[in-house]
Every structure is written in structure tokens, then in C-alpha cells.
Amino acid sequence: MPAIHYDAWKPEYKKPFGAVKVNSEVTFTIDAVNLWLKDPKLVVFQDYFLKEYPLLDNHDGSYSAAFIPSKAGVYFYYFKTTVVENNSENFYCCCKQHGGISQLVTNEDQAKTGAYQLTVYEQEVSKPAWYQAGICYQIFPDRFFNGNQDGHLNQRKPNSFIYGTTQDLPMYVKNADGSIARWDFYGGNLQGIIQKIPYLKDLGVTIIYLNPIFEASSNHRYDTNDYFKIDPMLGNQKDFEDLVAKLHQNGMKIILDGVFSHVGKDSRYFNASQLYGDKQGAYNDPHSPYYPWFTFKKYPTEYDAWWGVSDLPTVNKNDPTFQDFIYKNADSVIAYWTRLGVDGWRLDVADELPDEFIEGIRQKLKQFPEKILIGEVWEDASNKIDYHKRRRYTSGFNLDGVMNYPLRNALISLFEQSQTPLETAEALMTLRENYPLNFYFNALNNVGTHDTVRIWTALKGDFLKISQVFACLFMLPGVPTIYYGDEAGLDGREDPDNRRFYPWGHENKALFGTIKQLIQYRKTHKSLQSGDLLLMADDHFLVIGRFLAHEAVVYVLNASGIRSIYLPEQLQKIHDIPNLAPKLAQKLAGKSFDPWQSQLIELVI
């Protein structure tokens, strides 16, 4: 193959790096030293658009083309040319091989499949200072702490049971058809969170994200029964207002879970079991004001339900009255709770919400200062296709950021050794490339949530690896999030096992201390809060750096599983800044690292 080269992650080939704002010029350059290229072109395309631009000869062995995107969206691109050599002409395309590095193929269909991505956004999203510098803590309310005297329960739910002790393991009691027969509860409540604010403050938490707290039938409360009522098992409106006030008094913010794709079968809006009266709800009355919210196939027993789960009737998000109810009206769900002091919302299953619906929520939320809107998206949000439609998450008018499950996947793959440090670095840098900068810094980073295996379990209780995965979490851009109990070494496989009660009095104090130190280190280093990312790697070492102005913090990890010598000349500079690699080499060249040993280094650059 002829020597044609391109690397999207290096400024000499693509400028500027990463996502760009609409109507901004992007310059692409390929190297083709000592080659004669005939009719070289840059090919840019979208789902329903393709255009070619001539690559102009720079007379130094390189060829360049400029592209100015006039519309926001996700573009893809590759290069094509005919190479004239030895009196013959051969057609080649230059497309992505791995990371930012190119490969040559002879088939244009292959080039389209392996094309590079260019994200184009309308505007940068806001990046509230409290959020960017924050340390988030996710709480599953029923499983955290009961703040009532003598463990008294606020209210018992019908068709449920309370565990004998908080050490009992969660377990579903199911019917023969797999549906839930009895919901299980431990009795955690809002007063419990209030009582544990000193604990959270000592750990270093500045933001809490709560799984749903509105009235529901289940323990997880993703089956909302009443959007305007706190679930009685958790407390009441006064308890919530006290929680918000006390959090704010202690310098903490609160993010609520907004579940707007579906409601509970027993909600006042659907009311299949007539909990809210025998004439109320769409299930009982086709003239109900809520009837247009739902799609009945055979009234009333057959209806659209979220992923076919009959307990969760799907709501028609395009219905104007539902939009009024959730976000448009002055007394809508979003407006009501935000006025009470809520600092942000996390949208459950954002993929199930139309872009226009999310944008309506964001428009309402931005009427309040310094609020944040995060979406549950499990993949790279920049290029997500859902229901045959390309989503607008990164446009600047949609979500402010997303939960960063790709980061979790990359880190766990690294520590399970199913992925090399180099592959991990490339996965991490791909998000940096694809996301607009503020959107990228707004990512809610996690290594575990209520929907995943706990990190202690995923890494088989290996204290060293678990400590290092948290070090990576606090090193990387975005807002680090601790799933309640992970700092205490709580075990847990898939749901429901990952929703155990917090092990008060039985915490892993060593892990707690390690995470507390990492939090403090991040808080005292501005570069870890707002500094850009640099990455270097090889088959042994992963190097994560954050730099701001003239300083950098660098984390060097031997992720090979064997004793290794740090050899800087072997590291691939995934994304680097001038003078960093030589300074790092002076400190570490030839130093030996035990398996999973790391070192934090502060450098002046």
C-alpha cells in the first residue's frame, strides 16, 4: 500500500480537534510524501447527504481541504484518490483504522463503513460551576438509611413486605408469569438522607442524585403514580423541602430522576387497580382527561407498555396535554419541583423521549438559573440512532450531558484485562473527540449504578484494582459519581442484588479512606475539575493527564498485570501537549512498576 497517512487526533491533520460549532471551518490534511495523487478528494456525508471537496496540493507532500458545515448534526468523512505509480493507476480510500489513525482500502463502501466522525453543534451547553467542580453521590432512597426514631416506617404499602433486617439480601417474589408478586422494602427515607448529610459531607460529596422519589407502587419508583406527591414511605413534602434546604445549607446540590416515558399501571393517570377511585384514570374512563396520554389496542386491557411490561403503560409524549403537564405550564412538574430548589434533572430512558420533548424540558428548565439536564443514554450520545432517527442530544438545545456508561465499560474492560491500555485510551479519547467540549465535561461519570453489577463484584473484590478504577474515575473529565455503598465495598450482582441496603457499621474503611483522599485531591487541583485531557498508552501503561494553563496532573498506571518498566519511547501519544512527554520521561524513565501500581505526578509545563 502507498504511504498515505491521516490522524484525526493530531492538529497537523485536522484542525480544530474534535467537535465544531456550525459554520466553523475545519481543515483536513493528508500526508502523501513522494506520491503522485490524481484527483484527491475529501468526501463528507450524512445519513441523507454526500459532497466531495478537492484536496489541494500543499507542495510539501501533503494535501488539504476545508469544510464549513452549515447545519448541525453528525457528519462522516473519508478521503479518496487515484495513485499514479510505475505507469499504473490504482484507486484508494483513506478511512479510520483505530483511534485517530487511518488505513487504506480499495473499496469505497469499506471507506464509508470505516469513515471518521465529525460532530457539529449549534451552541455550547451551559456548564454550571457547581456541577463542573462537583462530586456526585447516587442514592437509591429505600436502601440508604431510615431516619425515623427506632426505625419506624412512614407507611406500609399494600402487596409488599419489609425485610427482617437491613442485612437481608434483596429478592424478588414473582408470579408464575415472571411479574412481581410482592415488592420488597427496607424502609430508607428522606429523613435518613438528612441524617446522613454529615457523612456525605465528610466523604466530600457536593451533589446527590436521587433515584425516583414520587409516589409509586414499587421499591424503585420508576412506575410513577403521582408526579406531585412524595412517596409516603419516603416521607412527605415537608421532609423533601427540609432535605433541599439542609443540602443547600451544607453546600450540596440535588438532582432528581424524571421518569416521563411511562407511568405506573396503578397511577392516578391510568388507575388499573382503582387506587384513586373506581371512575378515575384512563383505564376506567375513556372520557378521562388522561385518556389521550395512552395508546390502547383493545380497551382497556391491551395497551402500549414500556418494553412490553404491563405495569408500565407508555405515555404518548406527543400529546399536548401531557407536554403541558410535564413542562409547558407554569405549574408543570418540572416548574413545580424546580421552584422548590431542585438543581437539576436526570431524564430516565432519554432514548424513549422525542427530541422535541427533551428540548421543551430544557427550555423550561433554563428559565431557572444554573440548572442541569442529564440524560440516561448508554452509548456514545453524539451518534445515537433510535427508532430509525438520529438523535440531537449534542446539538446544544437538548441535553446538557449524559450518564457516561461508555467510560464505565472502558475502565472495567481495562481492569478485567479484556482490553489493552492502548484500546482503553482510544475508547476514552473517542468520547473527547465526538462530544462538544462543555457537553463532554458535563458527563455524569460512573463505575456503577442501580442498573449495573457493582464495581466490587465486577472486579472480584480486588482492593488494588478497585482503588485504581476509582483513581481513574476521579482523574477523567466529567463529574465523578459514586453509587451509594460502592465507597464502603458493597457487593452486588445484577438487579436486585445491586440494590442492597447500605452496610452501616460494616464499611470497608480502607476503601472509604482511599476514595475520600481521591475526592480531596480532585477538589484541590483545578486541572482535575476543568483541565483538558491528554492520554498516552502502550500494551503495559495507561497515562491519563489533565492540564490547565501551565500545570498538569498525570496518572501513570501499570495495567499489564506483570511487573513492567516504564519506557516512554514506546508510548503512543494518543493526545498530547508539547513538552509533557519529555518532562514525564525525566521523572519515570526506566522506573519499574508492580502490577496495577500507579503514580500521581504534578508537572509544570
Distance CA 553, CA 427 (A): 21
Active site residues: 348, 376
Question: How far apart, in Å, are the Cα atoms of 29 and each of 4, 44, 79?
Answer: 11, 14, 10
Print the SS3 string covering 152-172: CCCCCCCCEEECCCCCCCCCC
Half-sphere exposure of 293 (CA within 13 A, CB side): 30
195 SS3 class? helix
**77 CB-near residues (< 8 Å, 6+ apart):** 28, 42, 43, 44, 45, 67, 115, 116, 118
CB burial of 292-309 (b: ≥16 within 10 Å; e: otherwise) equals: ebbeeeeebeebebbeee
Question: 455: burial class by Cβ within 10 Å (0-12, 13-18, 19+)?
Answer: buried
Q: How many Å separate Cα 304 from the centre of its chain?
A: 28
Q: Are 67 and 44 in contact, with CB atoms under 8 Å apart?
A: yes
Distance CA 360, CA 350 (A): 13
**187 CB-near residues (< 8 Å, 6+ apart):** 142, 146, 148, 151, 153, 162, 233
With CA atoms as reference, report the closest residue to 187 among 224, 149, 240: 149
Beta bridge partners of 125: none
Q: What is the DSSP string of 536-552?
A: EE-SSEEEEEEEETTEE
Q: Which three cell numbers stand for residue 587?
A: 521523572
The full length of the chain comes to 605
Distance CA 99, CA 116 (A): 10
Q: Which three cell numbers stand for residue 404?
A: 457516561
241 SS3 class? helix
With CA atoms as reference, report the closest residue to 137 among 475, 450, 532, 398: 450
Beta bridge partners of 576: none
Q: Are 174 and 217 in contact, with CB atoms under 8 Å apart?
A: no
Question: How far apart, in Å, are the Cα atoms of 228 and each of 243, 331, 437?
Answer: 17, 10, 35
